[in-house]
Structure 1
């Protein structure tokens, strides 16, 4: 029996970095507007991909990718103004549910029965995991965070559509265009309070939680179809819970059940990667 593990070499660092993203982003966005928060992180990410050899690409697909990525980032940051990091994570991980119809529509990638079953089981785990947190949701924060998940699914599909392009150049181009978008929006809200907490948050969310995480996600959807990769995103709340346990935060029983369902969903969705 042989198991193909190619995608997992990108998944493991992605999950580790992603499990901390929400806390650092909340820290930074508390002291800045969502627009300037994203402008700074996008400019830093642009520079990172430039110095490692990114070349500018411009076409209709790259432009759409950049718009979807920027809208996802903006709405995610805006949502974090109103919800906690844990709530944001749960709401954001509705993304795999949206990835199926979008990938069918744009890429004609239909999920297998096992992939669909794994997604449904994993998503039910997200719902159970989020129940103890739901009392704190604000309607506006919840809505914009879920809409962020739709745009996350959209730019994931476009990463897949552009899989024949160099990933470094794709990310350089999307962050450069995104920087221009956020620069144009800056007059709407440029509030910022420079302090150690802001610098700590923006440093992480621009590098490990930003440029590198986007790049790793891009590499994963280059390898496998979107519906299969997006289920793997459930690994992030699983690791977050494990980290919380080590910090002395004991999850509710229903969250343990939710985590178990997420893990089961991943296993089922990956079943066809096992070859005899």
Structure 2
């Protein structure tokens, strides 16, 4: 994580051109590093499919946190979309695996709470340049992880490790944090977080096409339910509103 955060921050630094360390960026850094650390620790005890189920409780937490921190009142269809979408994640996750570690479950749910928290904090910091925000929090986060790295230290460098590190640092770090931040400058927390359900849908379809996994009927049911949750959360945008026509009557 120290390497991942450092590379991700270094990639964004030329775009940001500066680092800002203030109360807001430090708070954001604590939230993002806590989320990443808890997610990684949780994966020591639960399978990836179980981690996905528990991590995607995030939209359920983000909506009330946004209400408290931003006074952003959730719309009915955003709440329904988040609830139905999470129901789809549960169906999908348990179609792949059926056991659960209590410790791993607790760690992963706490990760979801911190993921929701830094998501809301991105919205709170929407006036700041996303490149500056993320370059700052990623480089500071790297220093935090470096300080923690002696705990259970293990390092097995290889070509595969470097490939995976660069992938997770650039696409799963620089690009991911930057775009997530950018989305939250444009839309409400409720709408953006429900869109996160598209991640397991797209990744599952990709894995099915490449032969990595074999989806079953329950998997497709879960994915369909997630899609329904996304569409429901955006019902206001999808409703067709006919234009009013005015008629001029000659007298």
TM-score by length of 1: 0.82
Instruction: Check conservation: 1:118, 1:265, Cα contact below 8 A.
Output: yes
Task: Mark the runs of 5 or more structure 1 residues left unpaired by the alignment.
Answer: 1-37
Is the CA contact 2:92–2:218 (under 8 Å) kept in the aligned structure 1? yes
Partner residue, 1:93: 56
1:111 aligns with 2:85: no
Q: CA deviation digits over 1:39-75, x for unaligned, max 9?
A: 0001101211112234212222211110000011111
Deviation (angstroms), 1:134: 4.0
* Matched-pair contact (CA < 8 Å) for 1:54–1:172: no
Q: 1:254 aligns with which of 208, 218, 242?
A: 218
Contact 1:235 1:262 in 2 (8 A): yes
1:42 corresponds to:
5
SS of residue matched to 2:203: helix
**Aligned partner of 1:269 among 211, 228, 233:** 233
Compute the displacement of 1:110 (Å).
Answer: 1.3
Instruction: Output one character per residue of 1:189-240: Cα deviation in whole Å (capped at 9) or x when no partner.
Output: 3211112232221111000111111111010111011111000000001112
Question: How far apart in 1 are the matches of 2:105 and 2:96?
Answer: 12
Q: Which SS does the other structure have where 1:144 is aligned? A: helix
Alignment of 1:6-25 (within 5 A): none
Stretch of structure 1 that moved more, 132-141 or 89-98: 132-141
Report the Cα distance in structure 1 between the residues aligned to 2:218 and 2:146, rounded to whole angstroms: 43
- Which residue number in structure 2 is paired with residue 162 of structure 1? 125
| Whole-angstrom distance in 2 between the partners of 1:176 and 1:111 | 33
Counterparts of 1:108-257 in structure 2 under 5 Å? 108-248=71-211, 249-257=213-221
In structure 1, which of residues 49, 62, 72 is the aligned counterpart of residue 35 of structure 2?
Answer: 72
Q: Tell me by how many angstroms 1:259 deviates.
A: 0.8
What is the alpha-carbon root mean square deviation over aligned residues?
A: 1.5
Q: Secondary structure at the match of 2:16?
A: coil
Deviations 1:154-191 (A, max 9, x none): 00000000000000000011012111211221232321
3-state SS of paired residue (1:87): helix
SS of the residue aligned with 2:20?
A: coil
Structure 2 CA distance for aligned equivalents of residues 119 and 92 of structure 1: 13
Q: State how far apart, in whole Å, the 1-side matches of 2:236 and 2:17 are.
A: 35
Separation in structure 2 between the aligned mates of residue 102 and residue 53 of structure 1, nearest angstrom: 28
How many equivalent pairs are there? 239
* In structure 2, distance between residues paired with 1:51 and 1:79: 33
SS, match of residue 111 in structure 1: coil
Bigger Rg, structure 1 or 2: 2
Q: Secondary structure at the match of 2:36?
A: helix
4+ long deviations beyond 6 Å: none
Single out whichever of 43-52 and 128-137 deviates more from structure 2: 128-137
Deviates most, 81-90 or 220-229? 81-90
Report Cα offsets for 1:60-95 as digits up to 9, x if no partner.
221111000001111111122223333222221111
TM-score by length of 2: 0.90
